Amino acid sequence: MADLQFFENFLKNKQFIPEKLHTYYLHWVARFLTHCGHRKVEANDEEQIEPFLHELAKTKEEWQVKQAREALRLFLFAQTQAAAGDTALFRATNDPDQGWKLVATKMTEALRLRHRSIRTEKTYLQWLRSFYGFLDGKMPTEIDSQDVKRFLSHLAVERNIAASTQNQAFSALLFLFRHVLDRELAELADTVRAKPTRKLPVVLAKPQIMQIFALLDGVYLLMARLIYGCGLRVQECVSLRVKDLDFAKSCITIRSGKGDKDRLTMMPESIKNSLLAYLDQPRQLFDQDAVEKNSQGVWLPNALDRKYPNAGKEWGWFWLFPAPKLAIDPRSGRTIRHHLHVSNLQRQFKDAVRATKVPLNASVHSLRHSFATHLLERGHDIRTIQELLGHANLQTTMIYTHVVGKNILGVTSPLDD
């Protein structure tokens, strides 16, 4: 099987793919080729993946299906590289502009292959443009780790950017070298890096939160109450769908949160009636879209719109906080209903904070910090809070022990004796 031998060679030449996964990836690709009747699989055969995975899900566990999906996407990506002549295309032109445009196109393809979010895609491409501008016309085939080192040092010394921003730039360039140029970065130990800082989260007292809520109304008040009452991230809040609300069990499901993980959190009893009354608003937009000829429903994850073509037009999949107008999806070009943009809530919240004259640099995310801190003050254990927040590492949650108002250790200062 020439396709399978080709993929095995591809895996061996990719240092970023752990060797222990090679056998499993080859196994899933072999089953896929059998499913396709051992015909020659082309780079544009992605639509064949979903029917195969659908059959696989009947007998295999979820993690196995997910592993098979990743193997097949890598396989098709390898086919795409082979069809395009890989980095030979970068050498086919002496025009740096054309070369970097091609790099940007390949980077977009690689990001979408790995299901990176649209925000990550935009951010990485922005750093790619900054890197190209810094190199002043150097061809993509000529860059090396020294160029990356000089760029990162430039960001730290001359632009004085935050450590987290510099790490973001480094991640973008690492992705460029590994997944687009098919090379490894090396000898970066002596790179000048921005000094990391440890900042305590901004936590609002309950009376301050009530003051801010008093200046919000409508959908923005409801969103702010959800973030504080459930410990949501802003993006998780705006991305909620109708089916994520379980009023019977008083819980909310967070889908594809940070790290592409699902989790459950509580639904505050005090917000149930408000949510039930509010559902009439998105329902009106849903009914409006049902008769709108241009509307193609809402965006669905993981190619579900191909597997279930009408799911995007079902009430359960509709956004809890839909945008007032239809928009063009930047990836598919379809006319869909998107959710409210996070900047809408952020702007309203900032205005409310300024109006209350709360002497803190508070943002919407401060409500999530306040949720965790107030639970600690009420005596809830740190592991429970970690699960509710969706933190992968307990150390991330432990930061709230430094800002808790009540001394949870029960230690009495000698000054109080």
Question: Which residues are annotated as catalytic?
Answer: 233, 258, 365, 368, 391, 400
Rounded to 5°, angle at Cα 411 from 408 and 415: 130
Alpha helices (H) along 176-238: 206-214, 218-230, 234-238
Cβ atoms 91, 141 nearer than 8 A? yes
Helix (H, G, I), strand (E, B) or coil at 294: coil
For residue 216, the one-letter residue type is: L
Helix (H, G, I), strand (E, B) or coil at 168: helix
Alpha helices (H) along 231-308: 234-238, 269-278, 280-291, 304-307
Half-sphere exposure of 275 (CA within 13 A, CB side): 23
CA-to-CA distance for 23 and 2, rounded, in angstroms? 17
CA-to-CA distance for 148 and 291, rounded, in angstroms? 52
Q: In what order do the strands lie in the sheet with 263-266?
A: 245-246, 251-254, 263-266
What angle in degrees, to the nearest 10, is found between the helix axes of 269-278 and 280-291?
30
Q: How far apart are the two ends of the chain, measured CA to CA in Å?
A: 81
Helix (H, G, I), strand (E, B) or coil at 169: helix
Residue that the structure tokens 């996964």 belong to: 21
CA-to-CA distance for 336 and 333, rounded, in angstroms? 9
Report, in angstroms and rounded to the nearest whole number, the Rg of the chain calculated over CA atoms.
25
